[in-house]
Every structure is written in C-alpha cells, then in structure tokens.
Amino acid sequence: MPVILPVKGVSPRIPDSCFIAPNATIVGDVTAGEECSFWFNAVVRGDVNKITLGKRVNVQDGACIHCTYQKTETLIGNDVSIGHNAIVHGCVVEDKVLIGMGAIVMDNAHIGTGSVIAAGAVILEGTIVPPGTVWAGVPARKVKETSAELMAGEVERIAKNYLFYSSWFKDIPAAAAGEIAAP
C-alpha cells in the first residue's frame, strides 16, 4: 500500500480520481488536483513546506518532489509530466510542461508554460525558463523554442498517455493490487 502520512497534523489532500501506485510515498502538506498520478517509487514530501499540484500531473517512477524548510514551496500547474527519476525542488512549474527523465529543477527556479526540460538537464537555483522554450544540459541552457509539433507530439501526448495508463490500475481488486485481506 502507498505510504500516505500526515506531518505535524497536516495530511495530504488527494482526490479519489488520482492514481497512487502501491509503493508511492506522499506525506505532509501536499494538495493534488483531479486525475493526478503518482507512479511506482515516486516520493512527494510536503514535510518541510507546501507542495501543490494542479490537475492531471503525472509524477513518474522514482521522481521526487520536495521543497526547502521555511523558504521554498513547490507549485506545479496543470498537465505537467515529471519524468522518471526527476527531482523537482522548491520551484514553480507552470502548465503543460515536460520535465524529462533524470532532470533536476532546483529551488526558486520558474519553468514557464509550454516548456520542455530535457532528460538529464539541471536547472540551477533561481533560473527563469521562459514559456515555450526547450532547455538542456548541465547546467541547462535554452536550446530552442517549442514548436506546435513538439507540444502536441510530446508534452500533450505524454500527459494524456499517463492519464490513460492510470486507468489500467483503477479497477484492480485489492488482493491483486498487493493489499492483504483482513483475517
């Protein structure tokens, strides 16, 4: 079963329309919008500050969302995909953004709507990523503008796919999902 725990009396607020994998961890001051998905080994730690996710955010396998004590919250918009093993920490991510696999977005960064952070990219603390741009590298730099094809073919497609994938798990009987029936 997923680990969903209160911290200092504050419990995560997660709508029933969300999918939470059996080994995902969500703790503390976390608010998720409708139809989000938290995949296998994802960690969302609202223990030291607030984390807010919009609608249809997918937090893929091994991704970590956190923030900094008394300094930075994490705010994520609608239709955002956070790739496998990505780290999103104490920053703002606007709508329709793709954070690639293994990417790192650090404190006080601001990722504009319709942007793509490439796999493995490191967005340094305080970086402002303008809307509609693609950033790659370590440290990340702008490499191009997002095109209509990139938005439809990757950003929007991936967000829709994860909404579809989560539907596969919603009708699994409790015993098949790994829960142990009470004796």
Q: What is the pLDDT along the chain (183 residues), one digit of tens a residue?
A: 999 999 999 999 999 999 999 999 999 999 999 999 999 999 999 999 999 999 999 999 999 999 999 999 999 999 999 999 999 999 999 999 999 999 999 999 999 999 999 999 999 999 999 999 999 999 999 999 999 999 999 999 999 999 999 999 876 554 344 443 333
Position 47 in a domain: yes
CATH number at residue 86: 2.160.10.10
Rounded to an integer, what distance in angstroms lies between the CA atom of residue 104 and that of residue 43? 14
Asked if residue 145 is part of any domain, the answer here is yes
Say which DSSP state 7 is in.
Answer: B
Cα separation, 140 vs 103, in Å, equals: 10
Return the pLDDT at 174: 44
177 is a domain residue: no
Cβ 108 vs Cβ 85: under 8 Å: no
Q: Does residue 180 form part of some domain?
A: no
Q: Is residue 62 part of a domain?
A: yes
Largest CA distance in the chain: 59
In a domain, residue 96? The reply is yes
Q: Residue type at 121?
A: A
Which amino acid is present at 175?
A
| pLDDT, tens digit, 9 for 90 and up, residues 168-177 | 987 655 434 4
**Whether the Cβ atoms of residue 130 and residue 143 lie closer than 8 Å to each other:** no
Does residue 179 sit within a domain?
A: no
Number of folded domains in the chain? 1
pLDDT of residue 170: 77
Whole-angstrom distance, CA of residue 126 vs CA of residue 109: 4
Q: What is the pTM of this model?
A: 0.92
Residue 176 lies in a domain: no
Measured torsion, CA atoms of residues 36, 37, 41, 45, in degrees rounded to the nearest 10: 10
The domain containing residue 116 runs over which residues?
A: 3-167
Q: What is the pLDDT of residues 2-13, one digit of tens each?
A: 999 999 999 999
Provide the pLDDT for residue 177: 44
DSSP state of 182: P
Residue 54, pLDDT score:
98
Give pLDDT, residue 178: 44
